[in-house]
Amino acid sequence: MTRSLIERSEGLLKVHGRRIHRFYSTNISSRPVIKVYGLLRTGTNYMTGLLDLNFNVFCLFSTEEGWKHGPCKFNEKFKFVFIVKDPYSWVFSFWKWEKIHNRTDSETLTEFLSGPVTQPQLNANWNLVNPITAWNESLRSWRQYQDKDNVIFVRYEDVIGSLSDQLEQIRTKFNLKPNYAEYRNLQARVDNWKTPIPRPKLNPDFYRNKEYLHAFTKHDINLMRQHLDAVLVESFGYKVLNTD
């Protein structure tokens, strides 16, 4: 890669004693600048790593020119990749993430769905009722840029299911220069930093096979149906489930 994943996670540089965004201190005139947006646990780090690996681009840090999980700080000069994840898959993954970081005491998914958003920065950015509404509010906001020439939306499920097709779609949309004759996948987990509670080994098949749905009770499905924006969900090719 052109830059290490460790470097990306640092976010800011110090120049002459002042903390400044790395973007403004780097010569990037020859490379397209890309900002990846998406909710937590949608593969934003993975996508950034894939772009770094496969294309001659400059990917912005998670907090550079806007927090990647918050409202988009749109700029006509940048390229934007928005990652979408099935709302059921996402909220399950988010619950596990909050448990790993000791931010929730919810022992069941039902408790988590019914409670307040436990990630403080996410809640502050979107003013949420519960975790389910985070999916609605973020995607509803980001979708306003969907028709821009410098914006593309990709689904997490498509990335892990057909990586080359998704990268080719991004290359074509942004006219990017590939680094290799064939697209390459990352061989190690990108978000490999230590967490308060160790994470299980990454298992993409868990999401490909929709095994997460086994965690949803009928009450959970009804709660999701009550709070999800069905039109928004269907606009990204997903379905709002029912208990029938």
The DSSP string of 121-156 is HHHHHH--SSHHHHHHHHHHHHGGGTTSTTEEEEEH
Distance CA 56, CA 179 (A): 6
Q: If 0-12 CB within 10 Å is exposed, 13-18 middle and 19+ buried, where does residue 120 land?
A: exposed
SS3 for 109?
helix
At 26 the pLDDT is: 55
**In this structure, are strands 18-21 and 79-84 parallel, antiparallel, or unpaired?**
unpaired
Spatial contact of 79 and 174, defined as CB atoms under 8 Å apart: yes
pLDDT of amino acid 9: 36
Contact predicate 46/186, CB 8 Å: yes
Stated pTM of the model: 0.87
| Cα→Cα distances 86→60, 139, 208, Å | 25, 11, 11
In this structure, what DSSP letter does residue 73 have?
-
**pLDDT means over runs of 10, the chain (244 residues):** 38 37 56 96 95 95 95 96 98 95 94 95 94 98 98 96 97 98 82 65 79 95 97 98 87
Q: What is the per-residue pLDDT for 14?
A: 37
Q: Domains of the chain by range and CATH?
A: 5-235 (3.40.50)
